[in-house]
């Protein structure tokens, strides 16, 4: 990469251009891996002077932006006050020979442990680094940002950067650096919070666990009910074998039930919260934990409701493609011939199906609008009145 991938001008969330501070300190990076290269690219593109320390600078120099100075680790730690340690925990000890040169420096730990390492070690990587270099100030930051986000820019990934340290001045320096790079820093407190910060990338969709289990439970409940009503009961009472309906028909009947229940659970906690505030006579008392968690999971339940509705639409389009449906059409035609009926038209059934399909399309379109506006990139561009209007649309359609 001969040229930095990122412009020197950073675009803020409001669309304005923000430049790096006028007096830009020199920033050092220890490490030559993928993250170190992306970090150097981002820093150079943000207008910082970057020096990279590598054990083999001649081999790795071509992988970094031409504006970044790649040299030996001993030379790289000399002038910068802020140094990123972009290496694994087991390699921290290789830097002990630089203790005297690193004295008084700000070391930014960007490492992440594996799941096994996080459970095995009682202290975080940042705390371990601080124990090896007691004369340095260690700051935990940028561990939740991927190498791709650093290169492509924060608009293509999460903008938030949790930062923690025991030294307020050092933390403030890294906070300003993160802002100059176009990210949104989050003060997580002292270095004791580093273990919690390092656990963030290890969690797989933590906010989706409860809504996903709820959706799965509702699906199992309604699927069992529809199976008993549409398949098992006709088999036991009339001897009709309808078990072929299990993969498509029963699933298609179950999905809208789950979608409607989930959508109702999205709006119900708001009504409960309003009633509770009216009962208490104030809006400044904290909600119960169960209601607070319920309110926090509304977005996930709404998106799962949209997912079930979209699947229901796809399954409905597939119904005429089934072989069993073709056999039913042939059997119905044969019965019509045997009964000598030349024209079969039931006006009531025709109108009912037309209205059913029309309302279904409108409902799916409205739910799609709700799902799209719940995305952060869309909701952030709407004011409160516009967002409230979109959220009220389902009730207007119902009326």
Interval 297-310: pLDDT, tens: 998 999 999 999 99
Question: Is residue 151 assigned to a domain?
Answer: yes
Question: Is residue 259 assigned to a domain?
Answer: yes
Question: Is residue 323 assigned to a domain?
Answer: yes
pLDDT for the residue numbered 88 = 93
- pLDDT of 122 > 70? The answer is yes
Task: Give the pLDDT band (50/70/90) at residue 1.
Answer: very low
Least confident of 53-57, 169-173, 342-346: 342-346
**Residues 146 and 219 occupy one common structural domain:** no
pLDDT average, residue stretch 163-184 = 94
Question: Is residue 340 assigned to a domain?
Answer: no
**Residues 38 and 153 occupy one common structural domain:** yes
**Residues 198 and 301 occupy one common structural domain:** no
Question: Is residue 315 assigned to a domain?
Answer: yes
**Residues 85 and 32 occupy one common structural domain:** yes
- Residue/partner pairs of 56-62 with CB below 8 Å, 24 or more apart: 56/32, 60/32
Which residue in this structure is represented by tokens 């390492």? Answer: 117
- pLDDT of 216 > 90? The answer is yes
- pLDDT of 275 > 80? The answer is yes
| pLDDT, mean over the chain | 86
pLDDT average, residue stretch 75-97 = 93
pLDDT for the residue numbered 4 = 42
Provide the edge-to-edge strand list for the sheet that holds 49-54.
69-72, 49-54, 26-30, 82-85, 106-109, 137-140, 160-165, 184-187
Q: What is the 3-state secondary structure (H, E, C) of 261-308?
A: HHHHHHHHHHHHHHHHHHHHCCCCCCCCHHHHHHHHCHHHHHHHHHHH
- pLDDT of 10 > 90? The answer is no
- pLDDT of 317 > 80? The answer is yes
pLDDT for the residue numbered 322 = 83
Of 149, 183, 202, the residue at which a domain comes to its end is 202
**Residues 54 and 163 occupy one common structural domain:** yes
Whether 24 contacts 35, CB under 8 Å: no
- pLDDT of 188 > 70? The answer is yes
| Pair type for strands 10-11 and 17-18 | antiparallel
**Residues 306 and 366 occupy one common structural domain:** no
Distance CA 262, CA 308 (A): 9
Least confident of 13-22, 106-115, 160-169: 13-22
**Residues 318 and 181 occupy one common structural domain:** no
**Residues 36 and 171 occupy one common structural domain:** yes
241: left (phi over 0), alpha (psi -120 to 50) or beta: beta
Whether 335 contacts 282, CB under 8 Å: no
User: Where are the alpha helices (H) located in the chain, listed in sequence order?
Assistant: 34-45, 57-60, 73-76, 99-102, 115-120, 125-132, 147-152, 168-180, 194-199, 209-227, 233-238, 249-280, 289-296, 298-318, 323-338, 347-373, 376-379, 384-398
pLDDT for the residue numbered 350 = 86
pLDDT average, residue stretch 99-123 = 92
Task: Give the pLDDT band (50/70/90) at residue 74.
Answer: very high
Whether 215 contacts 308, CB under 8 Å: yes
Of 144, 174, 202, the residue at which a domain comes to its end is 202
Share of the chain above pLDDT 70, in %: 90
| 114 vs 396, higher pLDDT | 114
pLDDT for the residue numbered 13 = 42
Distance CA 58, CA 68 (A): 13
CATH code, domain with 48: 3.40.50.720
Question: Is residue 20 assigned to a domain?
Answer: no
State residue 140 phi and psi, 5-degree precision. -95, 120
List the domain range (segments joined by +) for residue 127. 26-202
Least confident of 51-55, 126-130, 355-359: 355-359
Of 141, 175, 202, the residue at which a domain comes to its end is 202
Task: Give the pLDDT band (50/70/90) at residue 12.
Answer: very low
**Residues 107 and 140 occupy one common structural domain:** yes
Other CB atoms within 10 A of residue 209 CB: 13
Distance CA 311, CA 291 (A): 29
| 362 vs 395, higher pLDDT | 362
**Residues 112 and 126 occupy one common structural domain:** yes
Token reading at 267: 């709006």
pLDDT for the residue numbered 224 = 97
Interval 330-379: pLDDT, tens: 888 888 778 887 777 788 888 988 998 898 888 888 888 888 887 776 77
pLDDT for the residue numbered 382 = 76
Other CB atoms within 10 A of residue 234 CB: 14
Least confident of 272-276, 344-348, 383-387: 383-387
pLDDT for the residue numbered 48 = 94
Tally the domains of the chain. Answer: 3
pLDDT average, residue stretch 256-266 = 94
Question: Is residue 15 assigned to a domain?
Answer: no
- pLDDT of 63 > 50? The answer is yes
Angle between helical axes of 347-373 and 298-318 (0-180°, round to 10): 140
Question: Is residue 375 assigned to a domain?
Answer: yes
Angle between helical axes of 209-227 and 249-280 (0-180°, round to 10): 130
Distance CA 399, CA 397 (A): 5
**Residues 250 and 274 occupy one common structural domain:** yes
pLDDT for the residue numbered 232 = 95
State residue 167 phi and psi, 5-degree precision. -110, 110
pLDDT average, residue stretch 64-71 = 93
Task: Give the pLDDT band (50/70/90) at residue 20.
Answer: very low
**Residues 182 and 230 occupy one common structural domain:** no
Among 252, 358, 367, CA closest to 311: 252
């Amino acid at each position: 990469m001969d040229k930095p991938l990122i412009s020197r001008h950073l675009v803020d969330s409001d669309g304005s251009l923000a430049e790096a501070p006028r007096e830009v300190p020199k920033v050092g990076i220890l490490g030559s891996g993928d993250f170190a290269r992306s970090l150097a690219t981002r820093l150079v593109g943000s207008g910082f002077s970057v020096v990279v320390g590598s054990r083999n600078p001649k081999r790795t120099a071509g992988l970094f932006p031409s504006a970044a100075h790649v040299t030996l680790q001993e030379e790289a730690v000399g002038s910068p006050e802020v140094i990123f340690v972009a290496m694994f925990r087991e390699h921290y000890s290789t830097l002990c020979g630089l203790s005297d040169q690193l004295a008084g420096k700000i070391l930014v730990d960007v490492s992440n442990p594996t799941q096994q390492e996080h459970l095995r070690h009682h202290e975080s990587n940042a705390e371990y680094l601080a124990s090896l270099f007691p004369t340095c100030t260690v700051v935990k930051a940028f561990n939740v940002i991927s190498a791709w986000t650093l290169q492509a820019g924060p608009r293509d990934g999460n903008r938030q950067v949790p930062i923690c340290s025991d030294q307020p001045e050092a933390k403030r320096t890294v906070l300003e650096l993160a802002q100059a790079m176009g990210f949104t820093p989050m003060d997580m407190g002292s270095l004791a919070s580093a273990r919690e910060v390092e656990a963030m990338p290890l969690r797989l969709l933590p906010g989706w666990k409860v809504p996903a289990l709820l959706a799965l439970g509702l699906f199992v409940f309604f699927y069992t009910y529809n199976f008993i009503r549409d398949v098992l009961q006709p088999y036991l009472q009339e001897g009709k074998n309808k078990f072929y309906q299990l993969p498509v028909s029963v699933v298609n009947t179950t999905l809208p039930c789950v979608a409607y229940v989930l959508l109702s659970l999205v709006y119900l906690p708001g009504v409960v919260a309003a009633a509770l505030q009216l009962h208490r006579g104030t809006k400044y008392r904290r909600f119960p934990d169960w209601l607070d968690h319920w309110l926090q999971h509304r977005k996930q339940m709404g998106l799962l409701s949209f997912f079930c509705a979209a699947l229901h639409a796809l399954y409905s389009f597939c119904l005429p493609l089934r072989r069993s449906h073709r056999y039913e059409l042939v059997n119905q035609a044969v019965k019509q011939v045997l009964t000598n009926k030349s024209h079969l038209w039931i006006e009531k059934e025709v109108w009912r199906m037309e209205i059913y399909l029309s309302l279904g399309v409108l409902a799916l379109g409205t739910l799609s609008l709700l799902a799209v506006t719940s995305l952060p990139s869309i909701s952030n561009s709407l004011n409160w009145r516009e967002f409230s209007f979109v959220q009220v649309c389902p009730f207007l359609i119902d009326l």
